[in-house]
Amino acid sequence: MPFGPRSWSDIAGVHEVSKLFARQDGLATVTQLSRLRVTDAMLRSRIATGEWERLDRDLIGLSGARRTWRRQVRSAVLSVSEKAAVSHVTAARVHGFDGFAREPEIHVTVAGSGHHNVLAGHRVHRSTLLRTEDCVTIDGLMVVSKPIALIGVAAPARSRRDPPGAGWDAALR
Question: Which carries the bigger pLDDT value, residue 154 or residue 138?
Answer: 138
- pLDDT greater than 90 at residue 45: yes
Domain boundary among 34, 62, 90: 62
Pair 128, 154 in one domain: yes
Pair 44, 81 in one domain: no
Pair 34, 96 in one domain: no
Average pLDDT on 152-167 reads: 61
Question: Taking all residues of the chain, what is their mean pLDDT, rounded to a whole number?
Answer: 83
Pair 92, 15 in one domain: no
Pair 29, 113 in one domain: no
Domain boundary among 62, 79, 107: 62
Domain boundary among 12, 28, 62: 62
| pLDDT grade for 109, boundaries at 50, 70 and 90 | very high
Pair 87, 160 in one domain: yes
Pair 76, 44 in one domain: no
Which of 139, 33, 119, 30 shows the shortest CA–CA distance to 72?
Answer: 119
Pair 42, 76 in one domain: no
Query: What digits encode the pLDDT tens for the residues 51-61?
Result: 999 998 899 99
Average pLDDT on 3-31 reads: 78
Answer for the pair 143, 85: CB distance below 8 angstroms, yes or no: yes
How many distinct structural domains can be found in the chain?
2
Average pLDDT on 8-37 reads: 87
Which of 111, 107, 109 shows the shortest CA–CA distance to 94?
Answer: 107
Pair 118, 137 in one domain: yes
3-state secondary structure of 2: strand
pTM of model > 0.85: no
Answer for the pair 171, 102: CB distance below 8 angstroms, yes or no: no
Span of 47-61, 74-88, 122-136, 157-171 with lowest mean pLDDT = 157-171
pLDDT of the residue at 142 = 95
Pair 55, 76 in one domain: no
Pair 77, 161 in one domain: yes
State the residue range of the domain holding 36: 2-62
- In sequence order, the 6+-apart residues with CB closer than 8 A to the CB of 106 are 72, 73, 76, 90, 121, 122, 123
